[in-house]
Amino acid sequence: MLKTAVRKKVIYAVSIFMVLGVIINAVYTLLSIKFTTERLKILLTITAIETPILIGLAIWLIILWFRPIIHFLEEMEEKEGKSSETLAQEAREALVQIPRRIVVLEFATTFIIGLSAGAWMRAVYGHLSIWESIAIFLSTFINSVNVSIILFYLTIRFRAPILRLAFAAERVEEKKHKVGLGIGFKTQVAVQSLMLLSLFLGSVMFINFTANTLEDRVKIEANQLVSDAADKIDLLIELKKTDKKSLADLVRNTKLGEGGFSFLLDEKRKYLVKGEKDLPLIKILDVHRPGYQEDVANGIYIAHTPIKKLYWTLGTVCFMKDFDAPITKMWSLLLLFTLIILVVGFIYAYFITTDVTIPIHNLIKSSQRIADGDLSHVVTVVTSDEVGLLANISNKMMHNLRKSMEDLHEHAQTRSLEKNKLQDNIKKLAVVIENAAHGDLSQTVNIEGAEELSQLVTAFNKMIEDLRNLIHQIKEASIQISSAGSEILATAQEQSSGSSEQAASVAQVTVTVEELSSTSKQIADNADAVVKIAEETLQSAQTGQDGVQDVIAGMEKIKETTEAGARRILTLGEKSQKIGEILEIINNIAAETKLIAFNAAIEASRAGEAGKGFAVVAAEVKKLAGNVVDATKTIREIAIEIQTLSSQSVMAIEEDVKKVDIGVGLAQKAGESLEEILDMVDQTTKSAKQISVATQQQRTASEQVVSTMHEIAEVSKQSAASSQQSITSVSELNTLAEDLKRAIEKFKLEE
Amino acid sequence: MEIELIFFRVQNQLFGIEVKSINRVLTSSINKKTKKIHLEEAEIPIIDMGAYLNLNNHKTNGKKEIIVVELDGVKKGLLVDEILMVLNLNLDRVKLLPPFIKNTAKKDYFWAVAKLEDELVLLLDIRKLYGFGNW
């Protein structure tokens, strides 16, 4: 049952605040932006996206909020009123913490969605002016605040009864902290908000409507102006007076508003007459039919019409800001009135609420004092309304209550006085006797005017006096014994502890010195071993150095031999080059021989039959010359081969020489390293020998210390034993004295 | 009947001349710009055969050989790349060029063609070097 009731409430709450939020959002947005179809489309899309997000978020948050409450209520039902403190605690936390989070989250979400919607409109439409952007921002902010306030009130409404239940469950009396806001403040806020909201919405709607009407009128006028001017230009064309000056005069005189101007385009969309500004909107005019272009954000309107005879276009530009003086005036008046009403409303609401709340407040204060037990208080409410009547009744009731209380009080007081006196005397006597039983003999009993008790008191006082004297004497004797014993004991104990400490220290020192002695023997042995090893190392290093010297000498010899080989091969290369030169000479001689043979053939031919034999000889000579040329070719090839081979060999040998050099360098380095090793080994040997001698001396010294220490230990042991004996005897004496003292101290003699 | 011919090379082309019109042959390391040489106290003009036969894209520097021809006591030197051989050919291995070819050619340098073992060699008309017409 409880569950379903809570769920119903949740559903009501969600629907109410969603509907209110959407309505307020729509109204504010409609009022703050001038609408074109594109903007309206975007707005509808935003609302379509925003609504499910908000509903989902609200349902989720409220379910989250109610879960612990429902849980708590279920438990309450099951236990039939028996409360659990932890459950009540959980419920209270949920009731106090979660509403705050819901309100903050809902505010943030609404605000972010609104801002992103504004940014989207800016991105898509691109023409939002700075004022329109601020209007969107403000409307989003106000919208978010509204949603948050509604949600806050709703949660408070739900919270109050359940909170009371939670407190009752824990059986804690209601404390004096306030739940929610005071009546006065609530009424003020309600009256103020309603008045301001209705006035502001009405005024804003009216001003926006007026502004739109005014703009429409300006547009109609601009269209008319352009159409009239176009007729005049048609006339000029008829009269063939289309010179630049008359056209310019006509266009300049066609203007609307202070900043308005006109322009004339030719058939190629170039300026025949240019206006004061070159607006980008002019470039996208449809030049074939009359129409307009509009920049809503910047308040620019361009009306244009074609001049059909010559395919020209006439346009006029007007700025809306030239005509919005009355609107500005209206806005400032609205602001002024809003302020006045805010102040007047505040004062009015203040008086009304204080008239109601102050008497109630006084009544509450008085009731509080009566509840606290102050019955002498009188309620001071002087109004003639229901509250005044209530105050009078409560005053009368209090008067009667006070009278009966006072009578009762007087009667009770006289009876109790007599009884108290007797009781006091007996109590005093009992206290003194009890103290004496526990050993306190310092007090005597002193009673006035009670005859029944006087004999008993005198006898008791005499007995106390005797006891006091006896105990005093015993006490003084025992104190003297005790102090003498304590002094002796302290001296003996000091001696004993001193000598045992001494024995322990001597034993420690002895052990340490013995350890030292054995350690120094080990060091001496190790140092000797080091000396031996170092000498061996010295010999090896010297042998190594001799070897390295031999290696260096061998390397030098190899280097010399290879260099000599390289020189010989180089000579061979040069010689083979000379062979080439000689071959060239032989070749030339062969060519000459060939030509001589040809000439001989020619001469032979001239000689006719007689020269025939000679021609045969010439042919032979020519053939020989040809053979020589062939042979020289072969020789040349061989010589070239020798040359390349020898240069390769020389290069290889040079490489070898370099390697040998590197080898020599490495061997020299090895020699230097060995030299260093020799030095270091020498130093090591010397140091080790020194260590050996020093440790030997140390060992002798520490052995002497050990024997001396043994003697000291023996002496201190004897001293400790004798002081222990004297402690035992003195302690026994001291115990006896203490026992006596304790027995006497039970008795207290003087105050 | 036999005809005695000397064969020479200009670039990769083989040409021939009758031995009876040749005075002598000699070597000379001259270049293209050399127009004359001195021989037995007489000046002899040199004709570069590469340029004369429009085979002009060859290198003109380096070792060259010169064939000295003589007609009516006037000597002229022919600059060639290499003289190859002297041969006696039977006349049936030599054919006159037909007038059709002679007329269609822009210049008629040659008068006949000789057949060696596996190629045909054009024989140079010496008279044209001296500015004579057909004969």
Cβ-defined contact of B4 to A605 (cutoff 8 Å): yes
Closest residue to B27, CB basis, from A595, A601, A622: A595
Cβ-defined contact of A599 to B24 (cutoff 8 Å): yes
Contacts of A562-567 spanning 24+ positions with Cβ under 8 A:
A562/A653, A562/A656, A562/A657, A562/A660, A563/A653, A563/A657, A565/A653, A566/A649, A566/A650, A566/A653, A566/A654, A566/A657
Q: How many CA atoms lie within 13 A of B130 on its CB side?
A: 15
Give per-residue pLDDT as tens, A297-331: 777 888 888 887 778 888 888 888 888 777 788 77
Strand B13-18 vs strand B2-10: parallel, antiparallel, or unpaired? antiparallel
Which of residues A684 and A209 earns the better pLDDT score? A684
Residue in the block written with tokens 């109601």: A356
Which of residues A459 and A532 earns the better pLDDT score? A532
Which of residues A365 and A301 earns the better pLDDT score? A301
Per-residue pLDDT, A176 = 42
Per-residue pLDDT, A65 = 65
Residue A180 predicted with pLDDT over 50: no
Residue A93 predicted with pLDDT over 70: no
At A48, which helix (H) or strand (E)?
helix A37-79
Per-residue pLDDT tens digits of chain B, which is 135 residues long: 788 899 998 888 889 998 888 988 887 766 666 677 877 778 888 888 888 887 766 565 566 788 999 888 888 888 888 888 888 888 888 888 776 665 665 566 788 888 888 888 988 888 878 776 544
> B9, B25, B87: best mutation site toward chain A, by most A Cβ within 10 Å?
B25
In DSSP notation, A187-216 reads HHHHHHHHHHHHHHHHHHHHHHHHHHHHHH
What's the mean pLDDT in A725-741?
A: 75
Per-residue pLDDT, A678 = 83
Which of residues A431 and A172 earns the better pLDDT score? A431
Tell me, what DSSP letter sits at residue B98?
P
Q: B88 to chain A: nearest residue by CA?
A: A605
Residue-averaged pLDDT of chain A: 76
Closest residue to A598, CB basis, from B20, B63, B86: B86
With an 8 Å Cβ cutoff, the interface of chain B facing chain A consists of 4, 6, 19-20, 22-27, 63, 65, 83, 85-86
Question: How far apart are alpha carbons A189 and A200 in whole angstroms?
Answer: 16
Give per-residue pLDDT as tens, A121-173: 666 655 566 666 777 677 777 767 766 776 666 666 666 666 666 565 554 44
Per-residue pLDDT, A191 = 64
What's the mean pLDDT in A609-633?
A: 85
Identity of the highest mean pLDDT range in A164-168, A263-267, A384-388, A477-481: A263-267
Cβ-defined contact of A592 to B4 (cutoff 8 Å): no
Per-residue pLDDT, A183 = 61
Per-residue pLDDT band for A498 (boundaries 50, 70, 90) equals: confident
Which of residues A225 and A149 earns the better pLDDT score? A225
> B3, B8, B69, B86: best mutation site toward chain A, by most A Cβ within 10 Å?
B86
Cα A163 from chain centroid (whole Å): 38
Per-residue pLDDT, A433 = 77
Percent of chain A with pLDDT over 70: 74
ipTM for the predicted complex comes to 0.81
Per-residue pLDDT, A572 = 84
A156 SS3 class:
helix
Cα A323 from chain centroid (whole Å): 54
Question: How far apart are alpha carbons A117 and A105 in whole angstroms?
Answer: 18
Per-residue pLDDT, A4 = 60
Q: A618 to chain B: nearest residue by CA?
A: B86
Cβ-defined contact of B86 to A599 (cutoff 8 Å): no
Give per-residue pLDDT as tens, A535-585: 888 888 888 888 888 888 888 888 888 888 888 888 888 888 888 888 888
pTM, whole model, 2 decimals? 0.32
Per-residue pLDDT, A141 = 74
Residue A305 sits at φ, ψ, to 5 deg, of: -150, 145
Closest CA to A355 of A383, A390, A391: A383
Give contacts of A 610-649 with B, CB under 8 A: 615, 619, 622
List for chain B the helix, strand, coil content (%; round to 5): 15, 55, 35
Per-residue pLDDT band for A480 (boundaries 50, 70, 90) equals: confident
Residue A174 predicted with pLDDT over 50: no
Residue A633 predicted with pLDDT over 60: yes
Question: How far apart are alpha carbons A36 and B105 in whole angstroms?
Answer: 93
Per-residue pLDDT, B61 = 56
Closest CA to A308 of A253, A243, A251, A230: A230
Residue A255 sits at φ, ψ, to 5 deg, of: -155, 155
